Structure 1
């Protein structure tokens, strides 16, 4: 049986996502969020915006990598900007 080889960037990605989820859970337990409507056409909580932001970041990242010859770092930067924008103004 072969085991999956984890690269440092892959492990770092999943560790960061885990830390974000842990931080959001702690934040939610200390200060429950309320529904609010921002740029997104629906009322969302912090958790909703995190989910939408992460999902949108993944699709944006794949789109940039698949449709352009830009660096993976550009795709990552655009995805991070999208995530932060959704979390702040979504």
Structure 2
């Protein structure tokens, strides 16, 4: 029988994967109702689409959380707020 007992499936781990799936589903719905996520050139000089900006936001959030954990430890409400602000900035100006 196939078992996933070797993985650390905690509530935060499951919430993370559910969040990623919801982001991808949200992007698909957004593209369905407002098509034309054509590339645009932002402040970094890169041509990015909506999906690119989502990826940059998620990678940036990972670095924000890892840096916060390294410097400050827990709780993680402040890096969550910083990550949301980062995502807003990326979608707005990148």
TM range (shorter): 0.7 to 0.9
Could you tell me which of 26, 30, 37 is aligned with 1:33? 37
More helix by share: 1
**Given the two structures, how large is their TM-score scaled by the length of structure 1?**
0.82
Unaligned runs of 5+ in 2: none
Where 2:23 maps in the other structure, the secondary structure is helix
SS for the counterpart of 2:40 is coil
Identify which of 14, 24, 28 aligns with 2:17.
Answer: 14
Counterpart CA distance in 2 for 1:2 and 1:35 is 40
Alpha-carbon offset, residue 49 of structure 1? 0.5
Any idea what SS the aligned residue of 1:71 has? coil
* Alpha-carbon contact 1:60-1:79 (below 8 Å) kept: yes
Q: Which residue of 2 aligns with 1:73?
A: 77
Number of residue pairs matched by the alignment: 90
CA RMSD of aligned residues (A): 2.0
Structure 1: state its 5+ residue gaps. none
Instruction: Point out the structure with the larger strand share.
Output: 2
Question: Which of structure 1's runs of 4+ aligned residues deviate more than 6 A?
Answer: none
Counterparts of 1:42 and 1:59, CA distance in 2 = 20
For normalisation by structure 2, the TM-score amounts to: 0.79
